[in-house]
Structure 1
Amino acid sequence: GFRSLNVALRQKLDLYANVRPTYYLDGVPSPVKAPQEMDMVTFRENTEDVYAGIEWEAGTEDGEQVRTFLEEEMDAEGIHEGPVGIGIKPITEFGTKRLVREAIDYALENNRDSVTLIHKGNIMKYTEGQFRDWGYEVAQEEYGEAVITEDTLWEERDGEQPEDTLVVNDRIADNMLQQLLTRTAEYDVLAMPNLNGDYLSDAAGAQIGGLGIAPGANFGEGRVLAEPVHGSAPKYAGQDKVNPTAMILSGRLLFEYLGWEDAADLIGEAVEQTIASKYVTYDLHRQIEGGEKVSTSEYAERVAETIEDLA
């Protein structure tokens, strides 16, 4: 069963694509030398993988039944003796293709250069390897000359990307984690299974200054649920101190979804101006020399006032 309200909502509403734009806001302290090179969008499959909620607790009757079935009926090996927790990792053709299709459509509509499929198919060949293969099938069978694979790019064009063409490639997940740091500017739109997406999008958020400024939204057919990347922080409840930027920018994504680009642009500009003025919450203040530390509500009020001034 589900152990998370977020996961339950994504499943019940079929919010299959978790989309996280990750870009640098001027003035935000960052642990990397060139945070401005980060401008990517992650598409994380939201309903499958080990987050599907299909698991059994160690020591339970159901868990032991699954173990017995795996060992006796499926000849599974390598499960050590004693209590064991078991989870299922479903990766379907349907779930994979609709996510990759969403990522490619976004990239083409927004003049992006590439879509990278992230996976551990070198180890998990029948799940994440299938994710990679099905992703390439979408690219090659549904988009014609608008999309070219990286292999074809180098084999036939010596690496020269045709104008108005999207490149689709793939990377192993652990390698991609270090390439986020070492070759940031080379990546644009990323598409990946659920667990990899959780890891990679959080790592990308750290490079632009942390999850306090990282927005996200969950998309389904005709519906969207926006939420900050950082999730909840119950220990700060009622203290009026945490950074609301990620929540505000998640709201901006809702306006973009509705096609209200002017409103979305106003929100983005107001947030950037507020941070640039060093009027920030405690998490940024401790890293900014000469800044003014303010509460959650004071920061939000300044953003709202700036929107009014810009409008």
Structure 2
Amino acid sequence: MAFDKIVVPATGEKISLRDGKLHVPDNPIVAFIEGDGTGVDIWAASQPVLDAAVEKAYGGTRKISWMEVYAGEKANEVYGEAIWLPEETLDAIDEYLVAIKGPLTTPVGGGIRSINVALRQRLDLYACVRPVQYFNGVPSPVKRPELVDMVIFRENTEDIYAGIEWEAYTDDVKKVINFLQVEMGVNKIRFPESSGIGIKPVSEEGTGRLVKAAIQYAIDNDRKSVTLVHKGNIMKYTEGAFMGWGYKVAAEEFGATPLDGGPWHVLPNGLIVKDVIADAMLQQILTRPAEYEV
């Protein structure tokens, strides 16, 4: 594929996807978005570290060929016309499969509300995977930081990250509130004249693929438990459905069965799938961090 502003490295090969697995050549082309603000400094420090790590790990037999693609302020400078996320950036990431990015600014005014959210939506980056681990010698306010070793899987494209909302006092939000009140019989909007409204879609498909990825990760990495964190006690048809669908995936995809009558489940290999209300989770990861792994 030919690009307008993006320069493909003269050396390097594409990473490919076969049978659901990445196949990485010895000289892979990896796209990068430098980022805005501190992103410029972060990337300047990160690239040589990554290159040195590859050199150290493979003794010079492998090397990354970096390819810059544009988003944020730099895209606006390169492409002009208030273009913050060029189509060819998305095309390049689609074609070369792997990309790394720095922090991006949110444009002031109209257009894209959040470039990060736009990237997630357009590329369907549904799983935000965040390892959280203590490194010996690093100061920590947690009493037993050495017990913290978890990997968080966060849904990235649904719920609040769908970005569906209407600003207070606008004609659009008045239409939404009127529909909710007149057509749906909603009478719980305390201050309708001054309220913004947001919608958080949660689907069985979106939940299923996230939970499946989390459970598979736990199996592949010898983890002991997967925890579904939710607010189903308040929002039964979104948060509560997330919990229910999560258990369904565990049962149908991994052969899990109810543990001591449920709702917790256990896989044939002993992996526990459990759930916890978000409030309790935030407390217990401080008081009992060893109980949470994925």
TM class by smaller structure:
0.5 to 0.7
Aligned to 1:21: 131
Cα pair 1:50 1:89 within 8 Å, conserved: yes
| Aligned equivalent of 2:157 | 47
AA partner of residue 62 (structure 1): D
Is the counterpart of residue 4 in structure 1 residue 110 in structure 2?
no
Which residue among 66, 77, 93 is the counterpart of 2:176? 66
| Residue in structure 1 matched with residue 142 of structure 2 by the alignment | 32
**Structure 2 vs 1, CA of residues 2 and 119 (structure 1 numbering), >3 Å: closer, same or farther?**
farther
**Is the Cα contact below 8 Å between 1:16 and 1:45 reproduced in 2?**
yes
Which has the higher Rg, Structure 1 or Structure 2? 2
Q: Is the 8 A contact 1:100 1:138 kept in 2?
A: yes
Give the match's secondary structure for 1:105.
helix
- 1:269-284 mapped onto 2 (5 Å cutoff): none
Matches of 2:251 and 2:112, distance apart in 1: 36
Q: CA deviation at 1:118?
A: 0.5
In 2, Cα distance between equivalents of 1:28 and 1:148: 40
- Check 1:19–1:176 CA distance in 2 against 1; reply closer, same or farther (3 A cut): same
How far off is 1:32 after superposition? 1.6
Report the Cα offset of residue 151 of structure 1.
Answer: 3.9
Q: Give the SS at the match of 1:112.
A: coil
Q: Equivalents in 2 of 1:163, 1:70: separation in Å?
A: 46
Q: Distance in 2 between matches of 1:82 and 1:3?
A: 24
User: Which of 266, 269, 274 is equivalent to 1:164?
Assistant: 269
Do the aligned partners of 2:264 and 2:274 also contact (CA within 8 Å) in 1? no
Residue 188 of structure 1 is matched in structure 2 by 293
- The residue that corresponds to 1:102 in the other structure is 213
Q: Per the alignment, do residues 62 and 29 of structure 1 end up closer, same or farther by CA in structure 2, a change over 3 Å counting? A: same
- Aligned residue pairs total 183
The two structures, once aligned, show a CA RMSD in angstroms of: 2.2
Q: Deviations over 1:159-193 (max 9, x none)?
A: xx89832110100010110000111101110xxxx
The Cα of 1:154 is off from its aligned counterpart by 10
2:120 counterpart letter in structure 1? R
CA–CA distance in 2 between the matches of 1:62 and 1:148? 47
Looking at structure 2, the residues matched to 176 and 155 of structure 1 have their Cα atoms a distance apart, in angstroms, of 15
State the secondary structure of the residue aligned to 1:43: strand
Change beyond 3 A, Cα 1:5–1:149: farther
Which one of 213, 221, 224 corresponds to residue 113 of structure 1?
Answer: 224
Q: How does 1:1-311 map to 2 (within 5 A)?
A: 2-79=112-189, 80-144=191-255, 147-152=256-261, 164-189=269-294
2:186 alignment partner AA: A
Name stretches of at least 5 consecutive residues in structure 2 with no aligned partner. Answer: 1-110
Q: In structure 2, how many angstroms separate the alpha carbons of the residues matched to 1:148 and 1:112? A: 18
Deviation at 1:75, TM superposition (A): 0.5
Report % sequence identity: 61
Aligned-pair CA distance for 1:96: 0.3
> Shift of residue 4 of structure 1?
1.4
Assess if the C-alpha contact under 8 Å between 2:264 and 2:272 holds in 1. no
Please report the TM-score for the alignment, with normalisation by the length of structure 1.
0.56
Question: How far apart are residue 53 of structure 1 and its match?
Answer: 1.1
Alpha-carbon offset, residue 112 of structure 1: 0.5
Q: Secondary structure at the match of 2:209?
A: helix
| Cα pair 1:148 1:167 within 8 Å, conserved | no
- Contact residue 117 and residue 135 of structure 1 kept, 8 A: yes
Preserved contact between residue 149 and residue 169 of structure 1 (Cα < 8 Å): no
Cα contact 1:7–1:51 (8 A) shared by 2: yes
Query: Per-residue displacement from partner, 1:102-148 (whole Å, max 9, x unpaired)?
Result: 0000000111001010000011000000000000000011112xx45
Residues 113, 152 of structure 1: CA spacing in aligned structure 2 closer, same or farther, 3 A cutoff?
A: farther
Instruction: Please report how far the alpha carbon of residue 51 of structure 1 lies from its aligned counterpart in structure 2 after TM superposition.
Output: 2.0
* Greater share of helix: 1
Alpha-carbon offset, residue 27 of structure 1: 1.0
